A and B are shown apart, each in its own frame.
Chain A
Amino acid sequence: KAGVTQTPRYLIKTRGQQVTLSCSPISGHRSVSWYQQTPGQGLQFLFEYFSETQRNKGNFPGRFSGRQFSNSRSEMNVSTLELGDSALYLCASSLSLAGGDEQFFGPGTRLTVL
């Protein structure tokens, strides 16, 4: 079974631009979550989607948004990029929202904002 895939793997953008990251979950997984990883803040939760609905959102500004499609694939968008948005963005999928379901992570998208 294929794992979680994320595209692109690397991105370089300049301040003020916007970016869209894509995530394809493991087949059959209906829940997708996004996390931001930085050296200073560690792993921080961005948002979570299940059945095309946002179920939970972290403490990030409105410039960060996302969506989930009917095939469970998900995208996240960051508008008006700032230098501080440089990070590794990780997508994770799980079968459901059940507390015991582990999340499986993709390799991440490394975003660099210049």
Chain B
Amino acid sequence: AQSVAQPEDQVNVAEGNPLTVKCTYSVSGNPYLFWYVQYPNRGLQFLLKYITGDNLVKGSYGFEAEFNKSQTSFHLKKPSALVSDSALYFCAVRDSNSGNTGKLIFGQGTTLQVKP
């Protein structure tokens, strides 16, 4: 079965330090991977995606993610965290078992807390 796992419920980091939010996936075939962020009482905002090509993907607000096929991981990173980055982060994979579909399978989410 296809799945996404975010092993940490919460990540705490000091402002200015680098941050990593972890994600591993299990899919059949080539994965299409996405990161989204959710602020309180808001919908999900798209950060970045991996389709093919370079393993390091750059996205919005200074975020980037590293795709590692051998480890089936797609960790989200940022060199220097901001307090305003504090939010709920979701990793997602496109369902490749349902034919031509946009259906996303989400991880359970990781709360990022950046302290001043």
Contact = CB atoms under 8 A, between A and B. Distances in A.
Size range of the interface on A?
A: 20 to 34
Chain A contact residues: over half helix, strand or loop, or mixed? strand
A108 to B, nearest CB: 5
Chain B contact residues: over half helix, strand or loop, or mixed? loop
Given A42-B109, A43-B90, A102 B103 contact: no
B49 A56 contact: no
Size range of the interface on B?
A: 20 to 34
Interface string B19-59: 00000000000001010100001111110010100000000
A94 B76 CA distance: 23
B5 to A, nearest CB: 12
Nearest to A97: B100
A84 interface: no
A99 B109 contact: no
Contacts of B32: 99-100
B98 interface: yes
B45 A56 contact: no
Contacts of B86: none
B109 A48 contact: no
Given A43-B90, A56-B98, A103 B104 contact: yes
Given A42-B108, A102-B49, A55 B42 contact: no
A43 B101 contact: no
Interface string B84-106: 00000010001110101111111
Nearest to B42: A107
A102 B101 contact: no
A110 B44 CA distance: 14
Contacts of A35: 104
A45 B95 CA distance: 11
B43 A48 contact: no
Interface of B: 32, 34, 36, 41-46, 49, 51, 90, 94-96, 98, 100-109
